[in-house]
C-alpha cells in the first residue's frame, strides 16, 4: 500500500531549549535561513508524500502560519515589486496540504502519534519528529520508503551510537538480513548501562503500519506518565514484524543546544549563498582555538 501521509509531532514543551522556546516553538528556530520544521516538510515533499498532519499544542500556531498563505505579505511584496520573494512565499504555502490536530496534553510521543489516528485512518504512514534533521543526498524518508515498498512492514530509522550513550536512546536488537537492514527482535527505551549489546539507536523517522494505533491504545503510561512510543513499537514488531534501517546521512537533534549548533554548521557549509565565506570563517576560528 502506498504511503501518502506524514505525521509530524510538534506539541512538545521543548524544555531543553528554554528560554528560547518559551514564546517561539523550538521547531521554528532558524537553521541558516529557514526554520527546522521547513527542512522536515521539504524532506517529506521530496519523498513523494501527499499530506502532512501536524500534531500541535497551545503556542505552536507559528508553525501552522509558516505553511499558510499570507495575503498581506503577498500584497506588500508585490507592491514593492519583490516578485521573486513573493513567488517564493507562495511556493512555501503551496508545498503540500497541511492539516493539524491538537494534542491537548504533552503526554509523550506515543500519545502524540495516537492523536492522529482518525486523520491517518487504516493506512501506513510516516512519522518525522519536528526537531530531528537528517542531511543526506537522498531524503532519509525516501530511502525508508524504498525499503518499506520491498518489505511492506514497519521501518524505523537507526544509527550507530557509542555504547556508553545507548542509555539516551531507544535501542533496537536484531539480526542483519541484508546490508543496512535489521529484522527487529527486541526494543528497549533508554536501557540501563550493560543491559543491551546493541548500539543501534532509533532516531526520529518511522514508517508505521496503522496497527500501531491499537498498540498505543493498550500501552500504559510509563516514565513520567508519558505514553512511550517504544513500548507500542515493540508490540507491533512482535505482532507483524519490523525492520530497522541504517539510513545514509547525518542526523542532528535540533531540539538540543549542541545538536542545533552542529546542524547550523552542516547546513551553512552546504548553502550556496554563504558556504565559501562561512568555510573561510570557520577555518579562521579553528586556527584561533
Ligand atoms: P522531544 O523528545 O524533543 O520532547 O520530542 P520535547 O518535550 O519537545 O522537548 P524537551 O525534551 O522538553 O526539550 C520530540 C518531538 O516530539 C514532539 C516534540 O514537539 C518534538 O518535535 N512531542 C513530544 C509531541 O508532539 N508531544 C509530546 O508529548 C512530546
CA 28 to chain centroid: 13
Contacting residues for 186 by C-beta, under 8 A, at least 6 apart: 172, 173, 174, 234
Ligand 1 within 6 A of 131 CB?
yes
Q: Pick the residue with more confidence: 1 or 187? A: 187
- What's the pLDDT at 274? 97
Q: Provide the pLDDT confidence category of residue 194 given band limits of 50, 70 and 90.
A: confident
Average pLDDT over residues 163-192: 94
Q: Is 25 in the pocket of ligand 1 (CB under 6 A)?
A: no
Residue nearest to atom 22 of ligand 1 (CA): 12
DSSP assignment of 47-107, as one string?
TT--EEEEEE-TT-HHHHHHTS--HHHHHHHHHTT-HHHHHHHHHHHTSSEEEEEE-SS--
pLDDT beyond 90 at 112: yes
Q: For atom 9 of ligand 1, which residue has the closest CA?
A: 14
Residue range 54-110, pLDDT digits in tens: 999 999 999 999 999 999 999 999 999 999 999 999 999 999 999 999 999 989 999
Residues 23 and 210: their CA atoms lie apart, in Å, by 34
- Is the pLDDT at 177 greater than 80? The verdict is yes
Rounded distance from Cα 13 to ligand 1 centre (Å):
6
Q: What is the pLDDT of residue 58?
A: 93
* Spacing, Cα 10 to ligand 1 middle (Å): 7
20 within ligand 1 shell (Cβ under 6 A)? no
Residue 71 Cα to ligand 1 midpoint, Å, equals 31
Ligand 1 pocket check for 12: Cβ under 6 Å: yes
* Domain 5-278 class, CATH top level: alpha beta
Tell me: pLDDT of 205 over 80. yes
Under the banding of pLDDT at 50, 70 and 90, the label for residue 219 is: confident
- Say whether 277 sits in a helix, a strand or coil: helix
Q: Which atom of ligand 1 is nearest to the CA of 27?
A: 21
Ligand 1 pocket test, pick from 109, 203, 226, 260 with the greatest ligand atom count within 8 Å of Cβ, gives 109
- What is residue 126's predicted lDDT score, i.e. its pLDDT? 98
Q: What is the pLDDT of residues 238-286, one digit of tens each?
A: 999 999 999 999 999 999 999 999 999 999 999 999 999 999 999 999 9
pTM for this structure?
Answer: 0.95
Give residue 222's pLDDT: 76
pLDDT single digits (tens) 16-59 = 999 999 999 999 999 999 999 999 999 999 999 999 999 999 99
Average pLDDT (153-172) is 95
Query: How far apart (Å, rounded) are the C-alpha atoms in residues 153 and 144?
Result: 11
Looking from the CA of residue 108, the nearest atom of ligand 1 is: 28
Mean model confidence pLDDT for the chain: 95
Cite the beta strand spans of the chain per DSSP E.
5-9, 30-31, 34-35, 51-56, 97-102, 125-128, 132-135, 154-160, 170-178, 181-189, 200-208, 242-246, 250-253
Average pLDDT over residues 174-182: 96
What's the Cα-to-Cα distance from 193 to each of 197, 224, 278, rounded to whole Å?
10, 20, 40
Q: How far is the CA of 25 from the centre of ligand 1 (A)?
A: 11
Looking at residue 7, its pLDDT comes to: 98
Residue nearest to atom 10 of ligand 1 (CA): 14
Q: How many CB atoms lie within 10 A of CB 164?
A: 9
Amino acid at each position: 500500500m502506498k504511503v501518502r501521509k506524514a505525521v509530524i509531532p510538534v506539541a512538545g514543551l521543548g524544555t531543553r531549549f528554554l528560554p528560547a522556546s518559551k514564546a517561539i516553538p523550538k521547531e521554528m528556530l532558524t537553521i541558516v535561513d529557514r526554520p527546522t520544521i521547513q527542512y522536515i516538510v521539504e524532506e517529506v515533499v521530496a519523498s513523494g508524500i501527499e499530506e502532512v498532519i501536524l500534531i500541535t499544542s497551545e503556542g505552536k500556531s507559528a508553525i501552522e502560519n509558516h505553511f499558510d498563505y499570507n495575503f498581506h505579505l503577498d500584497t506588500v511584496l508585490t507592491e514593492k515589486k519583490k516578485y521573486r520573494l513573493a513567488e517564493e512565499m507562495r511556493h512555501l504555502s503551496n508545498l503540500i496540504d497541511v492539516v493539524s490536530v491538537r494534542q491537548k496534553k504533552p503526554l509523550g510521543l506515543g500519545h502524540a502519534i495516537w492523536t492522529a489516528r482518525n486523520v491517518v485512518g487504516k493506512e501506513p504512514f510516516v512519522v518525522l519528529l519536528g526537531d530531528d534533521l537528517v542531511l543526506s543526498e537522498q531524503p532519509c524518508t525516501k530511502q525508508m520508503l524504498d525499503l518499506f515498498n520491498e518489505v511492506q512492514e514497519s521501518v524505523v530509522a537507526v544509527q550507530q551510537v557509542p555504547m556508553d550513550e545507548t542509555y539516551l536512546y531507544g535501542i533496537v536488537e536484531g539480526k542483519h538480513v541484508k546490508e543496512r537492514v535489521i529484522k527487529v527482535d527486541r526494543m528497549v527505551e533508554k536501557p540501563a548501562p550493560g543491559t543491551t549489546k546493541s548500539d543501534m539507536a532509533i532516531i526520529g523517522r518511522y514508517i508505521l503500519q496503522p496497527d500501531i494505533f491499537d498498540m498505543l491504545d493498550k500501552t500504559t503510561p510509563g516514565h513520567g506518565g508519558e505514553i512511550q512510543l517504544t513500548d507500542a513499537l515493540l508490540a507491533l514488531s512482535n505482532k507483524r514484524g519490523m525492520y530497522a534501517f541504517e539510513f545514509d546521512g547525518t542526523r542532528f537533534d535540533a531540539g538540543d543546544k549542541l545538536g542545533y549548533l552542529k546542524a547550523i554548521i552542516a547546513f551553512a557549509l552546504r548553502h550556496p549563498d554563504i558556504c565559501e565565506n562561512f568555510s573561510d570563517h570557520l577555518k579562521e576560528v579553528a586556527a584561533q582555538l
